[in-house]
Amino acid sequence: MCGALHAQKCSTAIVNMQHSPSPSRIRSGLSLALCLCAPALRAFAEGPDSIPNTFAPASTPTHEIYNLSLFALTVTGAIFVSVAALLTYVCIRYHSRRSNPANEPPQVYGSLQVELAWTVIPILIVVVLFLTTARIIFAIQDQPEPANALNVTVIGHQFWWEFRYPSYGVVTANELHIPVSTHQQPEPTFLRLISADVDHSFWVPQLAGKTDLIPNHPNESWMDPHEPGLYLGQCAQFCGVQHAKMLIRVYADTPSDFAAWLKNQQQSAVNDPSVAAGRHIFESQACMVCHTIKGTRALGTVGPDLTHLMSRATLAAGAALNTPTNLRAWVQNPANFKPGCLMPAMHLSNEQVDQLVAYLTSLR
Amino acid sequence: MSDQTIPVSGSLQAAYPERGTLLEWLHGWIVTVDHKKLGILYITYALFFLLVGGVEAMLIRIQLMVPHNHVISPEMYDELFTMHGTTMVFLVGMPILFGFANYLVPIMIGARDMAFPRLNAFSFWLTAFGGLLLYYSFLGGFGLYGMGNAPDVGWFAYAPLTGKSFSPGHNMDYWALALIVSGFGTVGTAINIIATTVSLRCKGMTFFRMPLFVWLLLVVSALTLVTITPLTAAQVMLLLDRYLGAHFFDAQAGGSPMLWIHFFWIFGHPEVYVLVLPAFAIANEVIPVFSRKAIFGYPAMVAASVGIGFTSLAVWAHHMFTVGMSSAGNSFFVISTMVVGIFTGIKVFNWLATMWGGSITFSTPMLFCTGFLFQFLIAGLTGIMLAVAPWDWQLHNSYFLIAHFHYVLVGAIIMCIFAGFYYWFPKATGRMMSETLGKWHFWVFIIGFHMSFDTMHFVGLLGMPRSIYTYEPNRGWDTLNLIITIGAFVQAVGVLIFVWNLVHAYFRGKLAGPDPWDAWTLEWATPSPPPAYNFAVEPEVRSRRPLWDIKHPNDPDWKYEQ
Amino acid sequence: MSDLPIFADEPWILPSRGRIAMWSLIVAESAIFSLFVVAYIYYIGRDQFGPTPSVLDRPILNTVCLLSSSLTIWIAERAIEQGRMRRFAIFWAITILLGLKFIIGTITEFRTLINRDGLTIDANLFGTTFYSLVGLHATHVLVGLVGLSLILAFTLFGKVNRSHAERIQVFSMYWHFVDAVWVVVFTVVYIVGK
Ligand code: HEA
Ligand code: HEA
Ligand code: CUA
Ligand SMILES: [Cu+2]
């Protein structure tokens, strides 16, 4: 429901992205005003949102982080207010009105008591802050994995995401589908994060803090979205030319939606005889070297799995909306959307591209 | 008071050197081993690169002004932010602070020169050569696949992106070699400063009578010895990987990119304190003089600086909360990081206490130092927020982080450097910088600063990551980015006013005399500019403020200092 | 509150700048070595293929030579202090010979490792860390040897005398440091890592 609506809204935004839409301008203006205090920022966005607001948590770990951040903000805020007030006071009160420059103020060289006071008080503050922080570190990081958790392996590639569901034999890219996890029916998702090439970082601010994907160093993270919908994020560790266009979409699906989605993803690719020409091109060109389409000869793993390409809303990790026009432009020359990405332009004739796109669009 | 030298034994009458032909003049600068000339060379060099790095920042901001902007190609953008960071840290921050150190440390301790004048010159030219080498990369060979020439992997240069397979060109070699070369220069200077402070103090200048400026540079230099060298070692490993097929950071052969991350931050974290401590050093001199009070709690200040130096060696992994350390590991680095806050707090409070009860005049140097205090307070507190590890999982590599460190690097360090310029320019040139222009500079720059860097916090909280050459329009980041960019332009105006002020003052500024600020340390006891050997006879001191003792013979410091 | 500090009669003696500088250099060098040692230890036993540390032979003779060179250089230092230049020259020369023996030993060790065991720097992690750590140390020995030889040459030409004792001692600190590092390298590579 609400999730679908949101997906809709975001898609329109992407369509309009060349001429920046006015609603988003107004929104960001608003957000500036609201940013000034954290709780207000939060009130601004409950549930999934097109703004990946770290102050609009939508899962257990982010809620805990959010509460911790409010605490830290209060402590540091209090320190700021008192010290800044002191500074202002000193500047105003002791601003020189000396008539006689030779008349120096009394010289004070120090005081052990005062010195002790402003050492001990910060120590106490630090102890409190540290203990609170450590508690949350352990709570989030060492959360045991429940038996019913969904396992997903996230593989970072230059510049796209691969998602594998080992227990379901599903492989997809760039758009992660996970079940919502409600109080009545908790079903968190545990991610195993690995990298195929260089460092990346998986960050969906509303669902979980970021965790890096480092070659030879598998990491873990977990999330349990409380409300269905689309959550946005992106790669947060510089990984090369198109690091900026390594976006993430996480769909938190209702249990039934999720089951339906899984079921579809488990199927082999649609085999539609009317687009056999396109399929032939795909299998005779280099495409199959890099891409997998289940049920065909194409078994490449360099690029995203295209078996259910049309079930995704965007192309190439959010570089463009997944429409036939964009798909065509993409296949003709990926640099149209993502200059520097690792898929080469294949130099196909217009007719070939048409057939290829017809084939690709059949891959529901 | 300002038209005569203070009668410290050994001060000289102004003896301006004869000006020869242009060629002689140039030759004089190139072969010089005089610490003052080298100091000025360092500073000029750094100032030049500040403009270069600033222009790079402007280009970054122009590209990010609106979403889906096409002014700069993705390749170019990556070069720009890498070169901006590298330039600002290695070619601006380090040299400018060593420039001040070179100029001031020997005079402040009543010495005639550095301990090793020729090593000093050699170090400077190494540093200068390193900078040229880095910028030569723009001509010297391509980088990441499909990319341009200059280094383009961020100033932290995480492996394995820097390996031959991902960066086949020569840009990483330029990066590594340039920094190794300038690193040698830096270590040379650090050794020099240590030897100078330990072995060349004038009579009576015990360790506990050294100006705090000298103390802090001593700490910084010691820190440098163990800070720059890990980077050198890591870069040597990188070059071995790239040229001899070694596998230090090569994931394919079982090597670990984690090793680089650790090594880089073992360097990188202490490095930021290497940058900030000299800024503190400047504040330590300026704040007392303009408050007309002795520094409050001198021993505590020294202890806190040493404490910062030591703890800063044990906090590096707070840059690595997201790489997947154990929860115990994360917790350790949370607490060690926060401990630095305690030491730093001591310094902040001592500065406030110095101003307390004083008689403060807000001349330009003091204005900048006040701005520094305010901004450093905020920057330190956002640092504490980042140290709250779970929150850092959100804030890491977002614009909030960018905001944090620009608050320190620009809001604290650059501000202190400006203060240092206004304060010591009269000493180095004999002429005053304009107060009016100085005030303009301050207000314009600080307004631009807050426009840019305050806003960055918010856009970071809204999920905007760093190092991206463009962003989607529907995420609430547009207006904020526009404001940041405008702020950067305002800062640029401020910097231009400053440059103009420098140039103008150099030729037209009003004469300063030896002691324009009625200050207390030894450099004000010689003419402005000081003669080649600083002091004809080695001075003798009896307290931390030798000139105070002379100006107040009835109430000298040495009666009170412990 | 202190009394009037009057200096006229107080001696004002500061440490030698040469020693301070050499100490600083040693601290800086130690940091470099630490990183290579850490990398070595970190990668012990992580190789999936290629030669392992079991191919190493402990270079005992080499170690003895290098460590005793610390002794000979110390004797030379004392000699120049007392102005006994002949004795200085002899022990200085012995130091050089011992250092040379060490370098030659290292070269032969590397040669056998490369030819017999196929261990090169790009063979595997062990090769990478072994050659870089031991090689870094050998480079330092080489640099030391160049310095030692220069000083020997000056001595033979009669340009070095008692007044240079201080400088000679400062230089010797470097050589002692290189020896001390070898103790660490030896322990890590040939004892712990084997
Ligand atoms: C000169 C530069 C400088 C300085 C001085 C500091 C100072 C501090 N920094 Fe910052 N930092 C950087 C430059 C600097 N930093 C840079 C460049 C990066 C990013 C590098 C990159 O990724 O490219 C960075 C990143 C960075 C991170 C990593 C974030 C991340 O990557 O996710 C963290 C995390 O802990 C951090 C924390 C701190 C802390 C706690 C301090 C403390 O020293 C601050 C201490 C000061 C105060 C706390 C204020 C005054 C104290 C009081 C008024 C007393 C009362 C206070 C308490 C009791 C808390 N910094
Ligand atoms: C001392 C250090 C320092 C300083 C002073 C600055 C100053 C500035 N920085 Fe910088 N910055 C870093 C250190 C510094 N920065 C580091 C370490 C990074 C990380 C890099 C990385 O990720 O690898 C970074 C990254 C960084 C980014 C993030 C890029 C990204 O991740 O995508 C941004 C974006 O806005 C930015 C902006 C600015 C701005 C607007 C200024 C302004 O304050 C600049 C103001 C100065 C000027 C505007 C100069 C004016 C010059 C003129 C007017 C020219 C006149 C011309 C002639 C006379 C020839 N910086
Ligand atoms: Cu992947 Cu940045
Ligand atoms: Cu740090």
The half-sphere exposure of A43 on its side-chain side, counting CA atoms within 13 A, is 9
Which of 59-118 (C) contact B at CB < 8 A? none
Domains of chain C: 17-40+58-192 (1.20.120.80)
- The pLDDT of residue B145 is 52
Determine what percent of chain A is predicted with pLDDT higher than 70: 86
Q: How far does A273 lie from chain B, in Å, by closest CA?
A: 38
Choose among C157, A249, C25: nearest CA to B123: C25
- Give the pair of three-digit tokens for residue B162: 């820097």
B156 within ligand 1 shell (Cβ under 6 A):
yes
Domain spans in chain B, listed from the N-terminal domain onward: 37-559
In the predicted model, is pLDDT for residue B143 greater than 60? no
Most ligand 1 atoms within 8 A of CB, residue of B313, B316, B352, B405 to mutate: B405
Give the distance from CA B405 to its chain's centroid: 12
Q: What is the secondary structure of A7-26 as a DSSP string? A: HHHHHHHHHGGGS--HHHHH
Strands of C49-182 (E only): list them: none
Ligand 1 atom nearest the C-alpha of A76 is 59
Q: Quick check: B283 and B372 in contact, CB under 8 A?
A: yes
Question: In whole angstroms, what is the distance from residue B181 CA to residue A188 CA?
Answer: 51
Average pLDDT over residues B241-250: 90
- The pLDDT of residue A129 is 95
The structure tokens 């001349």 sit at: B363
- Give the pair of three-digit tokens for residue B511: 């004469």
**pLDDT tens column, A319-344:** 999 999 999 999 999 988 898 899 99
Of all protein residues, the one whose alpha carbon is nearest to atom 1 of ligand 3 is A200
**Helix ranges, chain A (H):** 2-15, 22-35, 38-44, 60-93, 112-141, 255-266, 276-284, 287-290, 324-332, 350-361
Nearest neighbour of B256 by CB, restricted to A64, A216, A237? A216
- A146 preceded by a cis bond (ω within 30 of 0): no
Supply the mean pLDDT for chain B.
Answer: 90
Question: In whole angstroms, what is the distance from residue A346 CA to residue C55 CA?
Answer: 51
Q: How far does B40 lie from chain A, in Å, by closest CA?
A: 32
Model pTM greater than 0.90?
A: yes
Give me the amino acid identity at A233.
G
Nearest neighbour of B254 by CB, restricted to A29, A136, A216? A216
The structure tokens 């990987």 sit at: B241
Question: In whole angstroms, what is the distance from residue B437 CA to residue B509 CA?
Answer: 12
Contacts of A243 in chain B (CB under 8 A): 467-468
- Give the pair of three-digit tokens for residue B525: 């006891």
Q: Quick check: B317 and B392 in contact, CB under 8 A?
A: no
Contacts of B270 in chain C (CB under 8 A): none
Average pLDDT over residues B412-431: 94
Q: How confident is the model at residue B515 (pLDDT cuts 50, 70, 90)?
A: confident
Q: Is B203 helix (H, G, I), strand (E, B) or coil?
A: strand
b/e code C9-33 from CB counts within 10 Å (16+ = b): eeeeeeebbbbbbbbbbbbbbbbbb
CA B326 to ligand 2 center in whole angstroms: 34
First to last CA, chain B: 29
Q: How confident is the model at residue B543 (pLDDT cuts 50, 70, 90)?
A: confident
Around Cβ A194, how many Cβ atoms within 10 Å?
A: 18
Burial of B48 per CB tally in 10 Å (0-12, 13-18, 19+)? middle
What is the gyration radius of the CA atoms in chain A, in angstroms? 27
CA C176 to ligand 2 center in whole angstroms: 45
Q: Which residues contact A119 (CB under 8 A, 6 or more apart)?
A: B342, B345, B346
Of all protein residues, the one whose alpha carbon is nearest to atom 54 of ligand 2 is B51
Question: In whole angstroms, what is the distance from residue B224 CA to residue B218 CA?
Answer: 10
Contacts of C132 in chain B (CB under 8 A): 236-237, 240, 246, 248
Structural domain B37-559, CATH architecture: Up-down Bundle (1.20)
Q: Which helix (H) or strand (E) element contains residue A178?
A: strand A175-179
Q: Is A202 helix (H, G, I), strand (E, B) or coil?
A: strand
**Helix ranges, A36-182 (H):** 38-44, 60-93, 112-141
**Helix ranges, A36-59 (H):** 38-44
Q: Quick check: B356 and A91 in contact, CB under 8 A?
A: no
ipTM value, please give it.
Answer: 0.91
**pLDDT tens column, C129-172:** 999 999 999 999 999 999 999 999 999 998 888 899 999 999 99
Question: In whole angstroms, what is the distance from residue A34 CA to residue C194 CA?
Answer: 62
Please indicate whether, in this complex, the C-beta atoms of C24 and B245 are within 8 angstroms of each other. Answer: no
Please indicate whether, in this complex, the C-beta atoms of B257 and A94 are within 8 angstroms of each other. Answer: no
Q: Which residues contact B157 (CB under 8 A, 6 or more apart)?
A: B82, B151, B172, B175, B238, B260, B264
- The pLDDT of residue A17 is 36
Question: In whole angstroms, what is the distance from residue B495 CA to residue A36 CA?
Answer: 29
Contacts of B559 in chain C (CB under 8 A): 1
Q: Give chain A's residues under pLDDT 70.
A: 1-46, 98-102
Q: Is A251 helix (H, G, I), strand (E, B) or coil?
A: strand
Q: Quick check: C92 and C78 in contact, CB under 8 A?
A: no
Q: Mutate which of B73, B475, B551 to disrupt the A interface (most A C-beta within 10 Å)?
A: B475
Nearest neighbour of C28 by CB, restricted to B229, B244, B255? B229
- Give the pair of three-digit tokens for residue A271: 């085999």
Q: Quick check: B355 and B349 in contact, CB under 8 A?
A: no
| Distances in whole angstroms, Cα of residue A120 to Cα of each of A117, A153, B158, B299, B345 | 5, 47, 39, 17, 11
